Structure 1
C-alpha cells in the first residue's frame, strides 16, 4: 500500500476554502494573473537603459555608520 493511496480522498480545510472561494467569485483567476503582471512581469529593458541605471547608482561605503576622518 502506497503512502498516498490510503488517504487519496482527503481534502484539507485550506483546499476546501480556496475551491469554495473560486466558485463564489468568478473571474478571480483572471484578476490574479492581472495583479501578478502589474508587480512581477516586467518588460525587458534595453542595453542603453541598463547602462544608464548602472551608471546612476550611487556607491555606498562598506560600513555606512563610520564617519570619515
Structure 2
C-alpha cells in the first residue's frame, strides 16, 4: 500500500509563492530582524530606560478625588 503524504491547499500556495518570488525568504528574514533582532543593551542603558519609565496608576481612567 502506498502512503500518499497529504499537503494542504495553504502549503501548496506557500510553495508556489516561494517558487514564483525568488528572494522572498531573504526579504522576510530581513523584515523580521528589523522588529525582533535587537542588539543587546548595556547595563547602563537598561538602567537609564528603567529609571525614565513613567509609573502608571492601576486604573488610569479613574479620576483622583
Q: Structure 2: give runs of 5+ residues left out of the alignment.
A: none
* TM-score between both structures, scaled by the size of structure 1: 0.82
1:31 matched residue in structure 2: 27
**Partners in 1 of 2:5 and 2:57 — Cα distance?**
58
- Of the three residues 38, 41, 47, the one matched with 2:37 is 41
* Equivalence map 1:54-65=2 (5 Å): 54-65=50-61
* RMSD, matched Cα: 1.6
- Where in structure 1 do 4 or more consecutive aligned residues deviate above 4 Å? none
Q: Structure 1: give runs of 5+ residues left out of the alignment.
A: none
* TM-score between both structures, scaled by the size of structure 2: 0.86
Between Structure 1 and Structure 2, the one with more helix by share is: 2
Once the two structures are TM-superposed, the CA of residue 11 in structure 1 deviates from its matched residue by 0.8
